Amino acid sequence: MTKLKVFAGVCPGRKMPQVSTIIATTSQAQAAKAVGESVSSFRQYWSQTGNEIQCQIALSLPETLFQASGVDKKDYIAVPSKS
């Protein structure tokens, strides 16, 4: 089984223009598809993260987008993917 990686970046939010977003998946291509971006664009604005809190949250539901729901980056909520 391929190891999951956690990617972090910014996406348009429901109440704010941009919000911190994370996703656990096996590749950049899958993550880019989930957020509705090309792989090229994804590589420019996203990176793999080792942040312990972000990894714990994203790995709890692989292939699910999470966006910060407030100022505290620990308050992530699951959002529907664009794929």
Question: Could you give the CA distance from residue 16 to residue 11 in angstroms, rounded to a whole number?
Answer: 10
Q: Where are the alpha helices (DSSP H) in the chain?
A: 28-35, 39-45, 52-60
Read off the pTM. Answer: 0.83
Could you report the per-residue pLDDT of 4-18, keeping only the tens digit for each? 999 999 876 656 667
The predicted-structure confidence for 36-67, as pLDDT tens digits, reads as follows 889 998 998 899 999 999 999 999 999 999 98
- The amino acid that residue 71 corresponds to is V
